Structure 1
Amino acid sequence: MDLRTIKEELSSLKDIKSGLEFLSAEYDRMKKELKTSEEHIKSLSAKNSNLHTKVNELSNRLVLLEQHSRETNIEVNGVPESKTENLINVAKQICNTVSIPTDLIETATCTRVRKMNDSNKRPRAIIIKLPSVKTRDEILAAVTQFNKKNASNKLNTGHLGYIESKSPIFVSEHLAPYFKALHARTRQVAREKQYDFVWIRNGRIFVRKNDQSLAKQIKCYDNLNTL
């Protein structure tokens, strides 16, 4: 091998070495950038998790505030709608039927509310805003007692003068939309799991398997997985 060939080989090796050094430097740079990106992603993930937690906390607080604003209300479902209806008179008729003095609702306000599902053909619910939680509880207890005593003729439209066709009237606590949907789902799951009792007390949803079992509060949808 002559000197010229040797020089060419050495030059070629130098080029290869330079290329390897460049690739090594690029690898180190990319490795550093990848580490920085991973740390940035972890930081963003932690921030996102914190934001998610805060959003959940705020959502829960909002739901509780919505429920608190309804604490003196009762919701009446099943009363047919009429253009000439007087809702306070409807409320008084219900009170008379279940033996509650009508003077308890003299300062009450009544209104129909929009349906959650517009395709639902049932009449809109009536919301009766009462002067106190005590009055609310007295009316709810009276309705429950009336229905127990009159199992074959529970509160219905006939008691309000609708003679042609009798259909049930339901009186309950006025739930915020979240709890209303949760209550509906709870009733469905309770039927599937053969729970005998589902009830509402002060805006809270409870279930009980049978007379001998303990009551469980349903605070969120995840609680239904434990039934």
Structure 2
Amino acid sequence: MSFPCSVCKKNVAKDWVKCKVCITNVAHPSCAGKSKAPWTCSGCRAESDSTKAGGSNPPSNPASEAGDLLGEQLANLAATMHARFDAIEEGMKTTRVDLEAAINFLSAKYDDLLKTLAEQNTTIIELRKGMDRVNAKINEKDSVINQLTARVNTLEQSALSLVVEIHGIPRVSEQENLCESLRALADKIGAPQLSSENVVDVYRMPGRTPRAGGERPRTDPPIVIKFKAASVRSAWLAGRRRLQQLRQDVNAVPGPSTAAAAAATPATRSEPRGAPPVRIYEALTPYLKRLLYLTRGAATAKGYKFVWVRDGKIFARKSEENGALIRIRSEDDIRTKMGHDVPPAPL
């Protein structure tokens, strides 16, 4: 229960001071100017002063009126300050409750975040383990694929064990007789003449697609010969040294036009390019052709003097003095044995 303060007119819920005369009026201790001491309300105090004066109006006393006015203002100020303090205290209680609620909310969110991070870390660990297993499987399959590729290449190359390719023979006509075209070459290199007794098949490979503008390729497609006996094939392959010796002899004694072309600068040379020399190669599978191309590029970059093919096997040697032979079976051999990086194989 609360009562109005007889001084500030605001409610007094507890800790009030009662008037010692009427006992009905109450006031805040601060408004009464004392703490629970005998106190007389303004009404009882006025009545008491009137009784003492014999029922007549007391004479005016400016000092007393000023004191009463000051006391009343001080009481009003105390009441205002008390109300302000109550409001501040109530606001602080509300703010404290809001802060506690905010802290509890953030704490719950932080706990959720820690839980989520722990779950994500567990997931990442599991994913890494899964990736390791996948990479192991991929490496295993790559190893199997490389082994199968090597086996397939071996089988394909064995099918070409009696085949040679001859480059640099110009096409005479669309209906050319290849055996007649190769007769002069056989005489030069001392190889057996081609006939149905020693040849299974002889044909010219398809030509390349014409370039832009309709220009034909500079060289005609090579001629492929499949022999019946390995001895005849070996005789034709042995003739490569004879061809090389013939080219060296021709280059040692150049004709007038060749000498003029060699003396001319690239800016003034106007003669057409001569026909490419005749070359005899072992027939290789596409895999070995690419591997040979890469090996030659690595040899040029690393200073290897010799790269050759014998019986479908690729070899390299640093120089004549360095007798160490390097057998190239795969692109990894180019990386590890020759120390040269190779571009990835086309898809």
2: CA distance, partners of 1:11 / 1:171 = 94
Distance 1:4 1:168, change over 3 A: closer
Identity %: 21
What whole-Å deviation, never above 9, does each CA across 1:134-176 have from its counterpart, x for those lacking one?
Answer: 44333212x134236544259xxxxxxxxxx764110011122
Taking a change above 3 Å as real, the CA distance of residues 34 and 127 of structure 1, as seen in their structure-2 partners, is: farther
Q: What is the CA distance between 1:87 and its match in structure 2?
A: 2.6
Q: Which of 209, 216, 220 pairs up with 2:326? A: 216
Structure 2 match to 1:58 = 145
Q: What SS does the corresponding residue of 1:183 show, helix, strand or coil?
A: helix
Cα distance between partner residues in 1 of 2:95 and 2:320? 97
> CA 1:43 to 1:67, structure 2 compared with 1: closer, same or farther past 3 Å?
farther
Deviations along 1:1-40, one digit per CA (max 9) or x if unpaired, are 7578547624642442233223222332233224313432
Aligned to 1:205: 314
Select the structure with the greater relative contact order (CA < 8 A; seq sep ≥ 6): 1
Residue aligned with 2:339, SS: helix
Q: Which residue of 2 aligns with 1:68?
A: 158
1:159-198 pair list within 5 angstroms: 167-198=276-307
Shift of 1:124: 0.8
Equivalent AA in structure 1 for residue 243 of structure 2: N
The reply to whether residue 95 of structure 1 matches residue 186 of structure 2 is yes
SS of 1:168's partner is coil
Equivalents in 2 of 1:178, 1:36: separation in Å?
43
Residue pair 1:92, 1:105 contacting (<8 A) in 2 also: no
Structure 1 unmatched ranges of 5 or more:
155-164
* Count of aligned pairs: 216
The reply on whether 1:138 has 2:198 as its aligned counterpart is: no
1:124 maps to 2:234? no
Q: Secondary structure at the match of 1:27?
A: helix
Deviation at 1:76, TM superposition (A): 0.9
Q: Root-mean-square deviation (CA), in Å?
A: 3.6
What's the offset of the Cα at 1:80? 0.9
Instruction: Give the 3 Å change call, closer, same or farther, for CA 191–108 of structure 1 in structure 2.
Output: same
Alpha-carbon displacement from aligned partner over 1:170-210 (angstroms, at most 9, x marks no partner): 00111222322332343344345443322101222212222
Q: Which amino acid aligns with 2:115?
A: D
3-state SS of paired residue (1:225): coil
Q: CA deviation at 1:132?
A: 4.6
State the alpha-carbon separation in 1 of the partners of residues 316 and 187 from structure 2: 31
What TM-score does the superposition give when structure 2 sets the normalisation length? 0.51
- Answer yes or no: is the 8 Å Cα contact 2:240–2:279 preserved in 1: no
Maintained 8 Å contact 1:77/1:171: yes
Q: Which runs of 5+ in 2 are unaligned?
A: 1-87, 212-216, 252-273, 342-347
Give me the whole-angstrom Cα distance separating, in 1, the residues matched to 2:221 and 2:166: 9
Give the greater-gyration-radius structure (CA). Answer: 2
